[in-house]
Amino acid sequence: MTKHQYVNREISWLRFNARVLQESEDKCTPLLERLRFLGIFSNNLDEFFKVRYATVKRIVQAGKSGKSELGGERAKDLLDEITNNVIEQQEKSIAILHAVEKELEAENIFIINETEIQPQQEEFLKAYFIQNVSPVLMTIILNEHSGFPTLKDTAAYLAVRMELIDTEDGDGQVGNKVRYALIEIPKGINRFIELPKEGEKNYIILLDDLIRYSLRSIFNMFAFRNITAHMIKITRDAELDIDNDLSKSFIEKISSSVEHRKISEPVRFVYDRDIEKDTLSFLKERMRIQEDTDSVIPGGRYHNRRDYMGFPNLGRGDLHYEKIRPLPIKGLNLEGSLLEQIAQKDFLQHAPYHTFTYVIKFLREAALDPKVRSIKITVYRLADNSQVASSLINAVKNGKQVTVQIELQARFDEQANIEYAEQLQAEGVRLKFGVPGLKVHSKICVIEREEGEGVKRYGFISTGNFNESTARVYTDYTLFTAHEPILKEVSKVFDFFETTYKVRNYKHLIVSPHYTRARFEKLIRREIANAKAGKEAYIKIKMNNFTSYDMVDLLYEASSAGVKMQLIIRGICCLVPGIPGISENIEAISVVDKFLEHPRLFIFANDGDPLVFISSADWMTRNLDYRVEVGCPIYQKDIKQELIDAFEISWRDNVKARVYDAVQSNGYRQSSLPPLRSQFEMYDYYVRKLQEPREDS
C-alpha cells in the first residue's frame, strides 16, 4: 500500500473537527447551539495539541522521521501541515462567530465589548468588577531581568502593554518607556456577564472585555500615555511521565505526573493577531517559543472559546435544541425488580434515547438485595456527583464485597479519578488499578447473587462510560443480561486484573489485548471466504475512530474479494473508500449532530445469519493491542434486530451525514429521498416500539 491509500490520522482528526465546525455554521442548528459547537471545536483543538501534536513533536525532537507511525508522512512536514490546517480553521471559526453574533442581534441578544458600554451600564459593571473580579485577579508585572512566570496550560491571559511617561531620560528629554504585564483571566467567574436587561434587549459582555474596560483602574499606580491588552494562551504537552519509584503508590505516581503536567513543554502558542509586534517578540523570546517545532497560531481577539459551551441560556429555549424526554426500555419496569426481569431475558439500553436510570437502579438494587454477595465494575470516567459511586459505597455499607477497577490514567480525568479512588477506598471499596502498560477501557459490571444452592450472575456490558452526565449527550449501548456463559467470562476479565500473567480463554467475549485483533480478523476472513464462494457477504461497522493500518489493509483485501462494506466512523478514518481495485466495495460516512455518536457496533453477514457485536474498542492500535477492552456478542433475536435497525437508521441519514472521500472534504450526503435525520428518527423509532403490543400480551 502507498501513503495515498491511507489518510494520516492527525489530518483526519482535523477533518473531524472541521465537521464540528460545520455544525456551528449550519443554519438548521439552533442559534445558541451553534455557539456551543464553536466551544466544542475549540475544546477539541486544545486536546488535540496536548496529545497528538505533542506526540508528533516528540518524534521530531527524537530525530526520527516517524513515517512508519504516521502513514508515510514525515513528522516535520506533518507539524507544518497541522499548523497550516489549524490557522485556516481558526480563521473560519472567527468568521462564523462574527456571523452568529450578528444573527443574535436580530434576536435582541447583544454581545458588547469595552468600547460599546453605554453610560447606563457603567455603574453596574464597575460594581461587578470591584466586588467579583478585582479580588481574584492575578496580575503579574513583567521585568526584563527577572524570570518569566510559568503560564498555565489552556488558561487565557491578557498581555498588557503600557507606554509609561518618563519625566526625564538620560539627555534631559521627556520620553516613553514600554512596560509589560500579564493578567490571567479568572476561571472561577462566568466568562459571560449578563448586564441588566433593557426592554426586550439582552446584553452580554465577556469577562475579558470587562477587564480591558478596567485597565486604568488596575494599573492606576503607573503613569502611562497608552495601555492595550491582547489575549494569548499556550497549550502544554499532556503526556504523563510516570516515575519508577517503588516506594510510591500508584495513586501517588499518577498524582505526581498530573502535577508535573502543569509545567510540561509548550506545544502551541496562540495570540491575538492585532497584538503589537514588540509585545509579540518580547513574549516569544521570554517564553522560548520554538518556531520550527511549536505551533504558533495567530488568532482572534478571544481565545478559550471552549467557554462558549456554557453560554447563558437567557431563557431562550427557542434558540436551543428541544430537550428530549428519555424513554423507558420496553418491557423493563423500573418499579419492579430489575434482577428478576433480567433473569427472564436480556434488555438493551440505548442512551440518550433511553433513560440512564436503569444503570443506577441496577446498582441500587444490588446494594440493597440481601442475597447479593459481590459487585465488580470497571470505571473510566464518572460524573462530577456520581450516583454510580454513591451506589457502590451504599453496597459496601450493606456488607457487599465491592471491587472497582478504576483507570487512573483516563486522559484529562486523572485528577477526578484519583479523588474518587481515595473516596471509594476510604469507604471500604476494594480498588484495582489495572495492568502495568495497559489502560482499562472496558465497560463491564457483574454481580453475584445467592440463589437456591448456588450463585447466579447478573451484569451489564456497555460501549460507553457509566456516567450519568455524558449519558444525556452521548449515544451508547448497554446490554443488561443474566446470560451465564457471558457473565462467567466477564468474571474472567476481573480475574485477569488479579493475576495479569495468566491469559484466559474466551468463547463468547472479544477481549483486548489478547484476542480482539485476531477475532475480528477471523470474522473478516470468513466474509472474504463467503464472498469468494458466492455466498452473502457484507460487513457493517459503527465506530468512533479507525486508525489501524493493518485493519485498513484487511478491509481493502475484503473489498477486493467482493465483500460489501458500510462504515459509519464519527471521528478519525484512515481508510480511503472507493479506490478502484482496492476499496470500491467500501462506503463510509460520518454523522455529527445534536448528540455525540459514541457506540461501537459490528455486524457480519455470516451467510444470512448475521453476527452482531457491541464493544468498547475502536479499531485503533491502542485499543486492539494496548488496552483492556471487552466486546460482547448479541444472541437474543429481538436485540440483534434492534441493533441492525439502529445501524440502518444511521446509515440512511441524509441530513447530517458527511461522505468520506480521498481528501475527506466533508461533503454532505446528497439524496433524492425525503430528509432523514438519524438521531431524530432514532428517538421516533423507540417511541414506536413502546406503542407496539407486547409479545406476551
Report, as residue numbers or ranges, the catalytic residues. 441
CB 392 within 8 A of CB 363: yes
Contact (Cβ atoms closer than 8 angstroms) between residue 542 and residue 600: yes
What is the 8-class DSSP label of residue 1?
-
- Among positive and negative, which fits the CA dihedral 677, 680, 683, 687? negative
Q: What is the DSSP string of 289-311?
A: --TTTSEEEEE-S---GGGGGG-
SS3 labels along 19-66? HHHHHHHCCCCCHHHHHHHHHHHHHHHHHHHHHHHHHHHHHHHCCCCC
* Residue 675 preceded by cis peptide, ω within 30: no
What is the rounded CA–CA span in Å between residue 345 and residue 357? 19
Write the DSSP assignment of 173-217 as a string of letters: --EEEEEEEEEEPPSSS-SEEEPPPBTTBEEEEEHHHHHHHTHHH
> Which helix (H) or strand (E) element contains residue 556?
helix 549-560
Q: Which residues pair with 601 in a beta bridge?
A: 542, 614
Reference 627, options 441, 501, 443; nearest CA is 441
Pair type for strands 444-451 and 454-462: antiparallel
Residues forming beta bridges with residue 177, ordered by sequence position: 164
Query: β-strand 538-543 against 564-569: which pairing, if any?
Result: parallel
Q: What's the rounded Cα separation, in Å, for the pair 313 and 471? A: 21
Q: Which of 26, 156, 2 is nearest to 103 (CA)?
A: 26
- What is the distance between the alpha carbons of residues 23 and 310, in angstroms, rounded to a whole number? 17
Q: Is the peptide bond before 513 cis (omega within 30 degrees of 0)?
A: yes
Q: Residue 35 and residue 107: Cα distance in Å, rounded?
A: 14
* Phi, psi (rounded to 5 degrees) for 228: -135, 160
Q: The C-alpha cell of 472 is what?
A: 444525556
Full DSSP string of 109-124: EEEE-TTS--HHHHHH
Beta bridge partners of 270: 233, 297
